[in-house]
Amino acid sequence: MAENDSRLTIETSDDITLVGFLDRNILEEATIQHIGDQISDIIDATPNPRILINFDNVDHLSSAALGMLITINNKVRHKSGQLRLANINTQIYEVFAITKLNKLFQIHSDAEKAMQSFK
Amino acid sequence: MEQSHTRKPWIIPNLLAQGVKVVKTVIEQMEPLGYSQTAQFAVRLALDEAMANAIRHGNNNDPTKHVTIEYHITEEQLQISICDEGDGFKPEQVPDPTLDENLERPCGRGVMLMNAYMTKVTFNDKGNCVTMIKRKDCPLPYVSEED
């Protein structure tokens, strides 16, 4: 995948990096790898990363995407940062609940609540 | 007369893009047979995991290998088998990814998700061939209240 072929939207607000997905389906391994690399670059470039990943419009994801999110979470924690997930639809949330990853991630119903939760 | 779709065997090159086509084809054939959006989501999730397991782990991403798919979809249930050319694995030996000590491991959730979302999942003795059934009226997945 080309370096500039981003599948993410990335904005910054109040020192918080807001990440969104362009695709409804986060399934393909190359895409997941690329997304993980992009977010890792943000983490690497920030002393105490505060990242909000917005799942608005995401309909499907695979266990590889969950793995990518876990890796991101581990990296953020390693740098004493904070990661929040928001706007996860009911079916996707069920995947987090079944895998018990809802215990690992801080998940909020919408982006505003997630923004307010940063310390 | 009851409608159904059968394809056997469907042999594809060991490429993830080919696996995506298989998943898309199966899902497209479910909707006209009356499968709910929830059932389609479940099958898509399980099939994505099974295809990725076959291509990445079973066949070790070797493009010279193949994956063989057979399926039969009726108005009552979908049955699909996915076989790779690998040495197989023991699904019961995959660590439980929901245990606290495994939550931060980025891998190992595919088989668990297949079991959660399909009505029945069985592997052959060698462990290189999975057969999954999704009954149309199956309420899975079930997430307990404490979760």
Q: What is the pLDDT of residue B5?
A: 85
Distance CA B145, CA B147 (A): 5
Q: How many structural domains is chain A composed of?
A: 1
Token pair recorded at residue A62: 């695979």
- For residues A89 and A59, the answer to whether their CB atoms sit within 8 Å is yes
Angstrom distances, CA of residue B21 to CA of A59, B39, B45: 18, 19, 14
Q: How far is B143 from chain A (nearest CA, A)?
A: 6
Examine the pLDDT at A50 and tell me if it is beyond 80.
yes
Q: What is the pLDDT of residue B6?
A: 86
Give residue A26's domain range: 8-117
- Tell me the three-class secondary structure of B8-74, residue by residue: EEEEEECCHHHHHHHHHHHHHHHHHHCCCHHHHHHHHHHHHHHHHHHHHHHCCCCCCCEEEEEEEEC
Count CA within 13 A, CB hemisphere, residue B86.
24
Nearest to A58 by CA among A27, A37, A79: A27
Establish if A62 touches chain B: CB-CB under 8 angstroms.
yes
| Interface ipTM | 0.90
Distance CA B8, CA A83 (A): 46
Q: Does residue A26 sit within a domain?
A: yes
Q: Does residue A1 sit within a domain?
A: no
CATH code (residue A32) = 3.30.750.24
Establish if A67 touches chain B: CB-CB under 8 angstroms.
yes
Q: What is the pLDDT of residue B147?
A: 47
Q: How far is A12 from chain B (nearest CA, A)?
A: 27
Mind listing the pLDDT tens digit for each residue in B72-85? Answer: 999 999 999 999 99
CB contact under 8 A, B109 and A63: yes
Distance CA B42, CA B48 (A): 10
CB contact under 8 A, A100 and B147: yes
Examine the pLDDT at A2 and tell me if it is beyond 80.
no
Domain boundaries, chain B: 5-135
Distance CA B14, CA A73 (A): 31
A60 CB neighbours in chain B (<8 A) are 41, 44-45, 48
Q: Does residue A3 sit within a domain?
A: no
Hey, what CATH topology would domain B5-135 get? Answer: Heat Shock Protein 90 (3.30.565)
